[in-house]
Amino acid sequence: MTQARHRALVFWSFAAIYVVWGSTYLAIRVMVHSMPPLLAGGTRFIVAGAILYGWARWRGVPAPARRLWAPAFLLGSLFFLFGNGGVSWAETRIPSGLTALLAATSPLFTVVFESGRGGWHRPPVRVMLGIVAGLGGVALLVAPGEIIGGAHADLAGAAAITLAALAWAGGSVLSHAVPLHPSPALATGMKMLGGGVLLMVVGLLIGEGSRVSPDIFTPQAMLAWAYLMVFGSLIGFSAFTYLLRATTPAKVSTSAYVNPLVAVALGWFILGETVSARTLVAAAVIIGGVVLIRGSQGVRESGSQGAPEPS
Protein backbone atom coordinates (compact mmCIF):
# COMPACT_ATOMS: atom_id res chain seq x y z
CA MET A 1 0.00 0.00 0.00
CA THR A 2 1.38 3.41 -0.95
CA GLN A 3 1.86 6.07 1.72
CA ALA A 4 -0.67 8.36 0.03
CA ARG A 5 -3.32 5.64 -0.05
CA HIS A 6 -2.63 4.78 3.57
CA ARG A 7 -3.05 8.42 4.63
CA ALA A 8 -6.30 8.71 2.68
CA LEU A 9 -7.71 5.54 4.23
CA VAL A 10 -6.77 6.71 7.72
CA PHE A 11 -8.33 10.15 7.11
CA TRP A 12 -11.68 8.82 5.82
CA SER A 13 -11.76 6.09 8.45
CA PHE A 14 -11.38 8.68 11.20
CA ALA A 15 -14.09 10.79 9.52
CA ALA A 16 -16.41 7.77 9.65
CA ILE A 17 -15.88 6.99 13.33
CA TYR A 18 -16.00 10.68 14.29
CA VAL A 19 -19.10 11.88 12.45
CA VAL A 20 -21.02 8.79 11.32
CA TRP A 21 -20.75 7.11 14.70
CA GLY A 22 -21.83 10.33 16.38
CA SER A 23 -25.07 10.19 14.39
CA THR A 24 -25.76 6.55 15.27
CA TYR A 25 -26.86 7.49 18.79
CA LEU A 26 -29.77 9.37 17.26
CA ALA A 27 -30.59 6.45 14.94
CA ILE A 28 -30.50 3.96 17.82
CA ARG A 29 -32.87 6.15 19.84
CA VAL A 30 -35.33 6.20 16.93
CA MET A 31 -35.01 2.45 16.33
CA VAL A 32 -35.53 1.32 19.92
CA HIS A 33 -38.58 3.56 20.32
CA SER A 34 -40.59 0.70 18.80
CA MET A 35 -38.17 -2.20 18.24
CA PRO A 36 -36.72 -4.42 21.01
CA PRO A 37 -33.09 -3.22 21.37
CA LEU A 38 -31.16 -6.49 21.45
CA LEU A 39 -33.09 -8.24 18.69
CA ALA A 40 -32.95 -5.15 16.47
CA GLY A 41 -29.20 -4.87 17.04
CA GLY A 42 -28.67 -8.57 16.51
CA THR A 43 -30.44 -8.62 13.15
CA ARG A 44 -28.52 -5.65 11.80
CA PHE A 45 -25.16 -7.08 12.81
CA ILE A 46 -25.99 -10.50 11.37
CA VAL A 47 -27.00 -8.92 8.05
CA ALA A 48 -23.98 -6.60 7.97
CA GLY A 49 -21.63 -9.40 9.03
CA ALA A 50 -22.99 -11.76 6.37
CA ILE A 51 -22.51 -9.08 3.70
CA LEU A 52 -18.89 -8.41 4.73
CA TYR A 53 -18.08 -12.10 5.09
CA GLY A 54 -19.67 -12.98 1.74
CA TRP A 55 -18.01 -10.05 -0.04
CA ALA A 56 -14.59 -11.05 1.26
CA ARG A 57 -15.06 -14.69 0.25
CA TRP A 58 -16.35 -13.63 -3.20
CA ARG A 59 -13.13 -11.65 -3.68
CA GLY A 60 -11.13 -14.80 -3.06
CA VAL A 61 -10.22 -14.38 0.62
CA PRO A 62 -9.64 -17.87 2.07
CA ALA A 63 -12.10 -19.22 4.61
CA PRO A 64 -11.10 -18.75 8.25
CA ALA A 65 -9.65 -21.60 10.29
CA ARG A 66 -12.02 -22.94 12.91
CA ARG A 67 -9.76 -21.71 15.71
CA LEU A 68 -10.34 -18.09 14.61
CA TRP A 69 -14.07 -18.22 15.37
CA ALA A 70 -13.49 -18.31 19.15
CA PRO A 71 -11.68 -14.93 19.30
CA ALA A 72 -14.21 -13.53 16.80
CA PHE A 73 -17.05 -14.46 19.14
CA LEU A 74 -15.11 -13.11 22.12
CA LEU A 75 -14.58 -9.72 20.47
CA GLY A 76 -18.12 -9.84 19.11
CA SER A 77 -19.44 -10.22 22.64
CA LEU A 78 -17.40 -7.23 23.87
CA PHE A 79 -18.11 -4.89 20.96
CA PHE A 80 -21.67 -5.88 20.12
CA LEU A 81 -23.39 -7.80 22.92
CA PHE A 82 -22.08 -5.70 25.81
CA GLY A 83 -20.96 -2.62 23.89
CA ASN A 84 -23.68 -1.91 21.36
CA GLY A 85 -26.29 -3.95 23.23
CA GLY A 86 -25.71 -1.95 26.40
CA VAL A 87 -26.02 1.35 24.56
CA SER A 88 -29.15 0.25 22.69
CA TRP A 89 -30.85 -0.92 25.88
CA ALA A 90 -29.83 2.26 27.71
CA GLU A 91 -31.36 4.42 24.99
CA THR A 92 -34.78 3.05 25.89
CA ARG A 93 -34.29 5.01 29.15
CA ILE A 94 -31.83 7.84 28.37
CA PRO A 95 -31.77 10.48 25.59
CA SER A 96 -29.30 9.93 22.76
CA GLY A 97 -27.08 12.92 23.57
CA LEU A 98 -26.72 11.93 27.21
CA THR A 99 -25.95 8.35 26.16
CA ALA A 100 -23.12 9.59 23.97
CA LEU A 101 -21.66 11.64 26.82
CA LEU A 102 -21.65 8.64 29.16
CA ALA A 103 -20.19 6.42 26.44
CA ALA A 104 -17.36 8.95 26.01
CA THR A 105 -15.76 7.45 29.13
CA SER A 106 -14.48 4.55 27.03
CA PRO A 107 -11.01 6.14 26.53
CA LEU A 108 -10.64 6.38 30.31
CA PHE A 109 -10.94 2.61 30.54
CA THR A 110 -8.84 2.09 27.41
CA VAL A 111 -5.82 3.77 28.96
CA VAL A 112 -6.22 1.71 32.14
CA PHE A 113 -6.34 -1.56 30.17
CA GLU A 114 -3.37 -0.49 28.05
CA SER A 115 -1.39 0.22 31.22
CA GLY A 116 -1.82 -3.42 32.18
CA ARG A 117 -0.41 -4.82 28.94
CA GLY A 118 2.92 -6.56 29.38
CA GLY A 119 2.95 -5.97 33.13
CA TRP A 120 1.15 -3.26 35.06
CA HIS A 121 2.69 0.20 35.17
CA ARG A 122 1.20 3.23 36.89
CA PRO A 123 -0.20 5.80 34.43
CA PRO A 124 1.34 9.30 34.55
CA VAL A 125 -0.23 11.85 36.90
CA ARG A 126 -1.82 13.72 33.99
CA VAL A 127 -3.52 10.53 32.82
CA MET A 128 -4.75 9.77 36.32
CA LEU A 129 -6.17 13.28 36.61
CA GLY A 130 -7.94 12.74 33.29
CA ILE A 131 -9.48 9.50 34.54
CA VAL A 132 -10.66 11.18 37.74
CA ALA A 133 -12.10 14.12 35.78
CA GLY A 134 -13.93 11.86 33.35
CA LEU A 135 -15.46 9.78 36.10
CA GLY A 136 -16.33 13.00 37.94
CA GLY A 137 -18.32 14.10 34.90
CA VAL A 138 -20.22 10.82 34.98
CA ALA A 139 -20.91 11.31 38.70
CA LEU A 140 -22.30 14.77 37.93
CA LEU A 141 -24.70 13.28 35.39
CA VAL A 142 -26.03 10.54 37.67
CA ALA A 143 -25.94 12.31 41.06
CA PRO A 144 -29.49 12.48 42.48
CA GLY A 145 -31.43 15.72 42.68
CA GLU A 146 -31.48 18.91 40.64
CA ILE A 147 -27.97 20.22 39.99
CA ILE A 148 -27.18 23.27 37.83
CA GLY A 149 -30.71 23.28 36.48
CA GLY A 150 -30.91 19.66 35.32
CA ALA A 151 -32.23 16.30 36.53
CA HIS A 152 -30.00 13.27 36.94
CA ALA A 153 -29.66 10.50 34.39
CA ASP A 154 -31.45 7.19 34.86
CA LEU A 155 -29.15 5.06 37.04
CA ALA A 156 -29.89 1.72 35.34
CA GLY A 157 -29.30 3.26 31.93
CA ALA A 158 -26.08 4.91 33.10
CA ALA A 159 -24.84 1.60 34.53
CA ALA A 160 -25.55 -0.15 31.23
CA ILE A 161 -23.59 2.48 29.30
CA THR A 162 -20.67 2.26 31.73
CA LEU A 163 -20.57 -1.51 31.20
CA ALA A 164 -20.72 -0.89 27.45
CA ALA A 165 -17.80 1.56 27.66
CA LEU A 166 -15.76 -0.96 29.66
CA ALA A 167 -16.49 -3.71 27.15
CA TRP A 168 -15.66 -1.49 24.16
CA ALA A 169 -12.34 -0.45 25.72
CA GLY A 170 -11.50 -4.04 26.55
CA GLY A 171 -12.30 -5.16 23.02
CA SER A 172 -10.19 -2.39 21.52
CA VAL A 173 -7.11 -3.42 23.50
CA LEU A 174 -7.76 -7.17 23.20
CA SER A 175 -7.95 -6.87 19.41
CA HIS A 176 -4.15 -6.62 19.42
CA ALA A 177 -3.68 -9.70 21.56
CA VAL A 178 -5.89 -12.38 19.96
CA PRO A 179 -5.46 -14.12 16.60
CA LEU A 180 -7.72 -12.76 13.84
CA HIS A 181 -8.08 -13.44 10.14
CA PRO A 182 -5.58 -11.30 8.16
CA SER A 183 -8.40 -9.93 5.99
CA PRO A 184 -9.95 -6.90 7.81
CA ALA A 185 -13.26 -7.36 5.97
CA LEU A 186 -13.55 -11.05 6.81
CA ALA A 187 -12.42 -10.52 10.40
CA THR A 188 -14.99 -7.74 10.84
CA GLY A 189 -17.71 -9.90 9.33
CA MET A 190 -16.84 -12.74 11.70
CA LYS A 191 -17.03 -10.46 14.74
CA MET A 192 -20.36 -9.04 13.60
CA LEU A 193 -21.80 -12.48 12.99
CA GLY A 194 -20.64 -13.65 16.42
CA GLY A 195 -21.93 -10.56 18.20
CA GLY A 196 -25.19 -10.58 16.24
CA VAL A 197 -25.90 -14.20 17.16
CA LEU A 198 -25.17 -13.49 20.84
CA LEU A 199 -27.46 -10.45 20.80
CA MET A 200 -30.27 -12.51 19.31
CA VAL A 201 -29.82 -15.30 21.87
CA VAL A 202 -29.77 -12.95 24.85
CA GLY A 203 -32.67 -10.91 23.44
CA LEU A 204 -34.81 -14.04 23.15
CA LEU A 205 -33.77 -15.25 26.61
CA ILE A 206 -34.92 -12.00 28.25
CA GLY A 207 -38.27 -12.12 26.47
CA GLU A 208 -37.85 -9.59 23.67
CA GLY A 209 -39.44 -12.07 21.26
CA SER A 210 -42.85 -11.37 22.81
CA ARG A 211 -42.58 -7.76 21.65
CA VAL A 212 -42.20 -8.65 17.98
CA SER A 213 -45.31 -7.76 15.96
CA PRO A 214 -46.05 -5.91 12.69
CA ASP A 215 -46.65 -2.72 14.70
CA ILE A 216 -42.99 -2.34 15.67
CA PHE A 217 -41.81 -2.00 12.06
CA THR A 218 -42.65 1.67 11.67
CA PRO A 219 -41.14 3.60 8.73
CA GLN A 220 -38.96 5.62 11.12
CA ALA A 221 -37.67 2.51 12.91
CA MET A 222 -36.94 0.67 9.67
CA LEU A 223 -35.12 3.68 8.22
CA ALA A 224 -33.04 3.96 11.40
CA TRP A 225 -32.30 0.21 11.28
CA ALA A 226 -31.14 0.45 7.66
CA TYR A 227 -28.99 3.51 8.42
CA LEU A 228 -27.36 1.72 11.35
CA MET A 229 -26.77 -1.42 9.31
CA VAL A 230 -25.15 0.40 6.37
CA PHE A 231 -23.42 3.40 7.94
CA GLY A 232 -22.96 2.32 11.54
CA SER A 233 -22.05 -1.32 10.91
CA LEU A 234 -20.70 -1.77 7.37
CA ILE A 235 -18.94 1.57 7.01
CA GLY A 236 -18.32 2.66 10.59
CA PHE A 237 -17.11 -0.58 12.10
CA SER A 238 -15.06 -1.47 9.03
CA ALA A 239 -13.29 1.88 9.45
CA PHE A 240 -12.86 1.20 13.17
CA THR A 241 -11.34 -2.25 12.53
CA TYR A 242 -8.96 -0.82 9.94
CA LEU A 243 -7.81 1.92 12.34
CA LEU A 244 -7.16 -0.59 15.12
CA ARG A 245 -4.68 -2.26 12.75
CA ALA A 246 -3.23 0.93 11.30
CA THR A 247 -2.84 2.88 14.54
CA THR A 248 -3.31 2.41 18.32
CA PRO A 249 -6.40 1.94 20.49
CA ALA A 250 -5.65 5.24 22.26
CA LYS A 251 -5.69 7.16 18.97
CA VAL A 252 -8.85 5.43 17.80
CA SER A 253 -10.55 6.32 21.09
CA THR A 254 -10.21 10.04 20.26
CA SER A 255 -13.56 9.70 18.51
CA ALA A 256 -14.88 10.32 22.03
CA TYR A 257 -14.05 14.01 21.50
CA VAL A 258 -16.44 14.36 18.59
CA ASN A 259 -19.14 11.70 18.98
CA PRO A 260 -20.83 13.32 22.00
CA LEU A 261 -20.91 16.74 20.34
CA VAL A 262 -22.49 15.32 17.19
CA ALA A 263 -24.96 13.24 19.20
CA VAL A 264 -26.01 16.09 21.50
CA ALA A 265 -26.46 18.48 18.57
CA LEU A 266 -28.53 16.00 16.53
CA GLY A 267 -30.61 14.93 19.54
CA TRP A 268 -31.43 18.57 20.30
CA PHE A 269 -32.07 19.59 16.69
CA ILE A 270 -34.02 16.54 15.43
CA LEU A 271 -35.57 14.92 18.52
CA GLY A 272 -35.93 18.05 20.63
CA GLU A 273 -33.91 16.58 23.51
CA THR A 274 -33.24 18.97 26.36
CA VAL A 275 -29.67 20.18 26.79
CA SER A 276 -29.39 21.48 30.36
CA ALA A 277 -26.54 23.38 31.97
CA ARG A 278 -25.82 20.22 33.95
CA THR A 279 -25.34 18.28 30.71
CA LEU A 280 -23.04 20.93 29.26
CA VAL A 281 -20.88 21.11 32.38
CA ALA A 282 -20.63 17.32 32.57
CA ALA A 283 -19.73 17.20 28.87
CA ALA A 284 -16.92 19.70 29.41
CA VAL A 285 -15.58 17.71 32.37
CA ILE A 286 -15.74 14.32 30.61
CA ILE A 287 -14.20 15.54 27.36
CA GLY A 288 -11.63 17.53 29.33
CA GLY A 289 -10.61 14.30 31.04
CA VAL A 290 -10.20 12.60 27.68
CA VAL A 291 -8.10 15.53 26.43
CA LEU A 292 -5.82 15.21 29.46
CA ILE A 293 -5.33 11.53 28.74
CA ARG A 294 -4.68 11.95 25.03
CA GLY A 295 -2.44 14.98 25.54
CA SER A 296 -0.15 13.15 27.90
CA GLN A 297 3.19 12.17 26.46
CA GLY A 298 3.21 9.40 29.04
CA VAL A 299 0.59 7.36 27.21
CA ARG A 300 2.58 4.82 25.23
CA GLU A 301 1.94 4.80 21.52
CA SER A 302 2.12 2.10 18.91
CA GLY A 303 5.71 0.95 19.10
CA SER A 304 6.02 0.92 22.87
CA GLN A 305 2.61 -0.69 23.31
CA GLY A 306 3.29 -3.54 20.99
CA ALA A 307 0.56 -2.43 18.61
CA PRO A 308 1.09 -3.06 14.89
CA GLU A 309 2.77 -0.32 12.94
CA PRO A 310 0.92 1.31 10.00
CA SER A 311 1.42 -0.66 6.79
Task: Annotate 127-143 with b (16+ C-beta within 10 A) or e (fewer).
Answer: bbbbbebbbebbebbbe
What are the tens digits of pLDDT across the range 105-153?
887 788 778 776 666 667 677 777 877 887 787 777 776 666 655 666 7
Output the pTM of the full model.
0.82
Domain extents for the chain?
3-305
Range in 17-21, 151-155, 159-163, 282-286 the model is least confident about: 151-155
**Residue 209 CB neighbours (<10 A):** 12
Check whether 18 has a pLDDT greater than 70.
Answer: yes
Written as one letter, the residue type at 129 is: L
Q: Angle of helix 255-270 relative to helix 21-32, nearest 10 degrees?
A: 40
Q: What is the pLDDT of residues 54-73, one digit of tens each?
A: 999 999 999 999 999 999 99
Q: If you write DSSP's letter for every residue of 37-67 in order, what string do you get?
A: HHHHHHHHHHHHHHHHHHHHHHTTPPPPPGG
Region of residue 230 (phi > 0: left; psi between -120 and 50: alpha; otherwise: beta): alpha
Question: Average pLDDT, stretch 1-29?
Answer: 86
pLDDT mean across residues, the chain: 83
